[in-house]
Amino acid sequence: MIRTAICPGSFDPVTMGHLDIISRACKIFDRIIVAVPVNPQKHFSFSVEERMELLQRVCDGAGLANVEIDRVTGLLADYAMEKGAMVVVKGLRAVSDFEYEFQQALANKKLNPHLETMFLPTSSDNMFLSSSVVKQIAGFGGDISHFVPDCILHTIQERLCKQG
């Protein structure tokens, strides 16, 4: 039996923290589906297609052969059932992340009783790191090279870094 897990997230943009969680999940499960949500009510810096392409470049660059990048257009619980996934893997940076993620895990479990959620604490190097932090630093022209994978740095800088 192939053990499939889903790593959902906005990935707007992909950070070293995201790569850390995805890489660690790859060591635990046979197949990882990195799921990018389609949410027309939320404003993203990168389109779904762009986020998926950035994730593919990052995962290929890291040699993560058991990763598949996909989009989610509905409920994660339904998507997991459709894909045969029994686990959702979520990274936690701080206790404040836990409350929201715990609520999501309980809702997903109610919608799909076979779905479990696994929380992975982020590495200490990435505890402060989020896509929002990257966007804020880039927006003020700061150096984001320590926060995003090298293979996508230029693309992210072109979109987010303050010009001139």
Residues classed as catalytic = 18, 42, 93, 131
Query: 28 Cβ partners below 8 Å, 6+ apart?
Result: 3, 5, 89, 118
Would you give the DSSP letter of residue 143?
A: -
Q: CA nearest 118: which of 3, 6, 31?
A: 6
Both tokens of 8, joined, read 């959902």
Number of H helices, E strands in the chain: 6, 5
Neighbours of 82 (CB within 10 A): 10
Report CA torsion sign: 9, 146, 45, 41: positive
Q: Are 4 and 33 in contact (CB under 8 A)?
A: yes
Nearest 10 degrees: CA dihedral of 42, 70, 120, 139?
-40
